Chains A and B, each alone.
Chain A
Amino acid sequence: MSGTSDDLLEPLRKLLAFDAAKVALMFLGIWVLFYALGDLRGFDLAGSISLIRRVTFLAAVYAIAVLALNIQWGYAGLFNIGVAGFMAVGAYTVAMLSSPASGTPSGLGLPLPVGIIGGILAATIIGLVTALPALRLKADYLAIVTVAISEIIRITYNAPAFSDITGGASGFDNLPTNPVRTLLLTEPGSVISEPTAVGQVLFSFAEGYNIGRLTVLNGVYTFGTLLVLLLVYLLLERAGKAPFGRVLKAIREDEVAARSLGKDTQNFKVRAFALGCGLMGLAGILWYAMGPRASVVPTNFRPELTFYIFIALIIGGAGSNTGSILGGALFASILFEAPPVVRNLVREWFNVSANPANMIEALVPLASGNFDPLAGFLLANIDTLRFIGIGVLLVILVQRRPEGLLGARKETAAAVDLTEDTRPGGRRSSDVAADGGGETSE
């Protein structure tokens, strides 16, 4: 490995070794990309900012959910595909606890922080109840049990029997007040009401760029979500380097070895599972119970949501917190938000007007060399195509890069750098790993 090009790239490589730089570059890239897309579509500044805001929010909530899954699957090797169910528990509990008692379905009207803590606790407790018996099972059995539990949760919220409490199939309409509105507006219910002191500053600043109040409110909420993402990331990084996380990684590598070292692996797995479920509840709260995408409806929490989060984790590379964030952001932006924007662009550029009603009508003109109907048909069905693409991507990832698109590295269970030479005399040895508390890794 030598040569001038390598030397030239060295500073860049060093920069990318910092996780923070990677994540920041990724977000910058996404912002630039969507600004460019908005610009091409002819959006003004406000429109582009609104688009970027939407993408950033989705990326942030995905990243939180993926981080939560990473502690279960990436660290402890617990194959939980009931993510959607735990997110539902979080979102519904907040709605039930903190919604005003006057609306229908009526909430308890507790302060929002109490509701959020209650939501996280509820998701944690449901996670514990699931984990205590289920973690004895083989990995694929655990998968089936968790997906069944998430469906039981969803059907329970959907059931007409409890619609007085949960809102049934039409969902929980009466949502708690968005905290950002309370912060910026004197009357949180009305966007045009008198702003508070903080609100005055922000709104008048934004007005200078022709940005509306709604965008400001959503923007502040998105910023808050990014802050929570940072907190969750720091918490999990800390936990991952602590003895707790090192034992989890040891379990993932070889549970028997970890147990033979005297670790109560069952206990650690249950705790990791409950922690992950609590964070999933938090993701559900930030995503669905308040903010710009607030809607607590049972159909939001179908098993598909779980699979999206899973795919994001696989893209990022299971086992790495940074990879989780990158995967979540990449999935939310490139795979989820970009296709509809690109569709509109392509339609404008190539002047695709044909809109055949079905695939046969789209394919038949191909015989006479007319590609327009097929293009129109595919563009009109870009949502469906996106899912086909996600499926194909997943298969290719498993076949070619099982370690993930971005996760070409492994966080070892040892506390010290295994390649570092710490022995006196300068000879390398693997002895250093022995006091790592966990087990060695390659």
Chain B
Amino acid sequence: MDTEHAVDRGVQFLRGSPGATVVVAFGLFLFVDLLAKLAGVTVGPFDLSLMSLGPFGGDVPFERVLGFIWNGVVIGLVIGLASIGLSLTYSILNFANFAHGDYLTAGAFSGWAVAYIIAGIGGAYKIGETAVYLLTGLGRDSLQNADLVQLVLLRTPPLDAGANIWLSPAAVVIGLVFAVALTILISLALDRVVYRPIRNADGISLLIASIGVAFGLRYLIALVFGNRRRIVTSPEGLPSVNVAQVLADILPDAILSTPRAPIIVDLHEVTLVAVAVVLMLGLHVLLQQTKLGKAMRAMADNRALAQVTGIPTEHVIRTTWIIGAGLTGAAGFLLVLSQGGLGFTTGWRLLLLIFAAVIMGGIGSIYGAIAGGLIIGLASRVSLIWLQGDLSAFAQPTAFALMILILLFRPSGIFGGVKTA
């Protein structure tokens, strides 16, 4: 394509959508500002008659930027996992599920309750030993020392329970499996009771029903587990690495001699990234190797037509819930693994970010949802480069604003609404 043509298209774009132009210009400005900050160049402040602008640029160590990016990837993968489910139900069942965040909370609580029991008793070995004792009378009974009620309600202090991937990997793995399984069960039960009788209702009615589900589920969790927010994971003995120091050791001194800011990466974050990537790849293989993906796309397009073509629509809907809720439960469990805190509003507070990711990637697109999750996660963390000090409270509104901009200028998502499910 010759340059004249490109310029023509550029001019057309400027004329066609002035709003989008402003957004693009602002994005470019931020990018240049970031480069200036990394280079340590300060321009300004410019004193105008009414106000002073700037200063622009500044000095931000690139280790800090790397740290923000790592945090953004971690939270972005959680959002990405959760948004796959929301995106699937949005396109196939045709409604915005406002209870999705509470599915995530349900997964986190159920998974961690199981993980707490296993870790509190003393790991898989002790449980096996106790099982043998109960059956045969040989060995020891570890159940006696554990307060099961406190453990299952997640009320044991985190250091006593000792639930972390280093001290009790079995607890974390089994907890993850339970988180996935129980979230699937909850979602299927709710679909049977709530959504199936109104399968053909319009999107807004279903949305309102999902708000009812959200209230019911959230406060049921609060009734059982209490409405106190708690720290769940134990930091005891958890390996972590200062990546900035490692980089400084590896790279020649001319590039980086002493790191100016630490980048702490702990084993929980690494586990999260590994599990999330494996789950996403697994889903990719599943959809590529089976006819499921095609059936889902057909249903998203036109459910009645899909049905007369011989696609078992109820079966596909059930599979959709299984995939979506399973990944959401895993996301909830992993979120708590990396962040430590868990309360009954954890998922609800994440819901808008998940919506942002779904819209960003285009509703119905799995790969779009993953990419959208990463973008939203990165935006909410990398924006901290500009939002320093008191302004850091605006990191989340930045992600919301990004979502609103996408909706206004590109409602089909950044990938142009290509459905890849």
* B204 surroundings in chain A (CB, below 8 A): 79, 139-140
Say yes or no: A148 contacts B400, CB within 8 Å.
yes
* A385 surroundings in chain B (CB, below 8 A): 219, 223
Task: Let me know if A341 is at the binding interface, CB within 8 A.
Answer: no
The CA of A391 and the CA of B394, in the complex, are separated in Å by: 31
Interface residues as binary, B382-396 with A (CB distance below 8 Å gives 1, 0 otherwise): 000000011101101
**Given A156-B397, A399-B209, A390 contacting B408 (CB threshold 8 A):** no
Interface size on B (CB < 8 Å)? 51
Task: Let me know if B197 is at the binding interface, CB within 8 A.
Answer: yes
**Given A141-B411, A144-B407, A395 contacting B194 (CB threshold 8 A):** yes
Task: Let me know if B226 is at the binding interface, CB within 8 A.
Answer: yes
Task: Let me know if A21 is at the binding interface, CB within 8 A.
Answer: no
Contacts of A388-407 to chain B: CB distance below 8 A: 388, 390-395, 397-399, 402
* A387 surroundings in chain B (CB, below 8 A): 215-216, 218-219, 222
The CA of A79 and the CA of B394, in the complex, are separated in Å by: 26
Residue pairs across A and B with CB atoms within 8 Å: the count is 138
* A139 surroundings in chain B (CB, below 8 A): 203-204
Say yes or no: B219 contacts A137, CB within 8 Å.
no
Say yes or no: B393 contacts A161, CB within 8 Å.
yes
**Given A140-B96, A140-B204, A388-B219, A159 contacting B212 (CB threshold 8 A):** no
Task: Let me know if B116 is at the binding interface, CB within 8 A.
Answer: no
Task: Let me know if B231 is at the binding interface, CB within 8 A.
Answer: no
Task: Let me know if B198 is at the binding interface, CB within 8 A.
Answer: yes
Task: Let me know if A147 is at the binding interface, CB within 8 A.
Answer: yes
9-residue interface stretch from A281-289, A319-327, A355-363: A355-363
User: Nearest Cβ distance between residue B193 and chain A, in whole angstroms?
Assistant: 8
User: Nearest Cβ distance between residue A156 and chain B, in whole angstroms?
Assistant: 7
Task: Let me know if B211 is at the binding interface, CB within 8 A.
Answer: yes
Contacts of A295-332 to chain B: CB distance below 8 A: 307, 310, 314
Task: Let me know if B95 is at the binding interface, CB within 8 A.
Answer: yes
User: Nearest Cβ distance between residue A153 and chain B, in whole angstroms?
Assistant: 9
Most buried by B among A136, A152, A381, A398: A398
* B212 surroundings in chain A (CB, below 8 A): 390-395, 397-398
Main secondary structure of the interface of B (DSSP, over half): helix
Task: Let me know if A149 is at the binding interface, CB within 8 A.
Answer: yes
Main secondary structure of the interface of A (DSSP, over half): helix
Say yes or no: A151 contacts B400, CB within 8 Å.
yes
The CA of A152 and the CA of B206, in the complex, are separated in Å by: 26
* B207 surroundings in chain A (CB, below 8 A): 79, 140, 143
Contacts of A131-183 to chain B: CB distance below 8 A: 133-134, 136-141, 143-145, 147-149, 151-152, 155-156, 158-161
Say yes or no: A394 contacts B215, CB within 8 Å.
yes
Say yes or no: A158 contacts B393, CB within 8 Å.
yes
User: Nearest Cβ distance between residue B388 and chain A, in whole angstroms?
Assistant: 10
Interface size on A (CB < 8 Å)? 45
Task: Let me know if B288 is at the binding interface, CB within 8 A.
Answer: no
Task: Let me know if A370 is at the binding interface, CB within 8 A.
Answer: no
Task: Let me know if B21 is at the binding interface, CB within 8 A.
Answer: no
Residue of B nearest to A141 (CB): B407
The CA of A138 and the CA of B204, in the complex, are separated in Å by: 11
**Given A137-B411, A381-B223, A398 contacting B198 (CB threshold 8 A):** yes
* B222 surroundings in chain A (CB, below 8 A): 384, 387
* A314 surroundings in chain B (CB, below 8 A): 208
* B1 surroundings in chain A (CB, below 8 A): none
The CA of A394 and the CA of B173, in the complex, are separated in Å by: 37
Partner of B390, one of A148, A159, A361: A159
Interface residues as binary, B200-244 with A (CB distance below 8 Å gives 1, 0 otherwise): 010111111101111111111011101100000000000000000
**Given A391-B212, A395-B213, A358 contacting B219 (CB threshold 8 A):** no
Contacts of B318-354 to chain A: CB distance below 8 A: 352
Say yes or no: B153 contacts A394, CB within 8 Å.
no
Say yes or no: B213 contacts A161, CB within 8 Å.
no
Say yes or no: A151 contacts B397, CB within 8 Å.
yes
Most buried by B among A148, A149, A402: A148
Say yes or no: B203 contacts A137, CB within 8 Å.
no
User: Nearest Cβ distance between residue A371 and chain B, in whole angstroms?
Assistant: 17
Interface residues as binary, A107-146 with B (CB distance below 8 Å gives 1, 0 otherwise): 0000000000000000000000000011011111101110
* B103 surroundings in chain A (CB, below 8 A): none
The CA of A148 and the CA of B19, in the complex, are separated in Å by: 20
Residues of chain B whose beta carbon lies under 8 Å from any beta carbon of chain A: 19, 95-96, 149, 152-153, 155, 194, 197-198, 201, 203-209, 211-220, 222-224, 226-227, 352, 355-356, 359, 389-391, 393-394, 396-397, 400-401, 403-404, 407-408, 411
A-B contact pairs, 23 of them (CB 8 A): A79-B207, A139-B204, A143-B207, A144-B352, A151-B400, A152-B397, A155-B393, A158-B393, A160-B390, A358-B224, A360-B149, A360-B152, A381-B223, A387-B216, A388-B215, A388-B216, A388-B223, A390-B215, A391-B211, A391-B213, A392-B216, A395-B194, A395-B213
13 extra A-B contacts, CB within 8 A, seeds A148-B356, A152-B401, A361-B149 = A137-B407, A140-B204, A144-B355, A148-B400, A358-B155, A358-B224, A387-B218, A387-B219, A388-B219, A390-B212, A391-B214, A391-B216, A398-B201
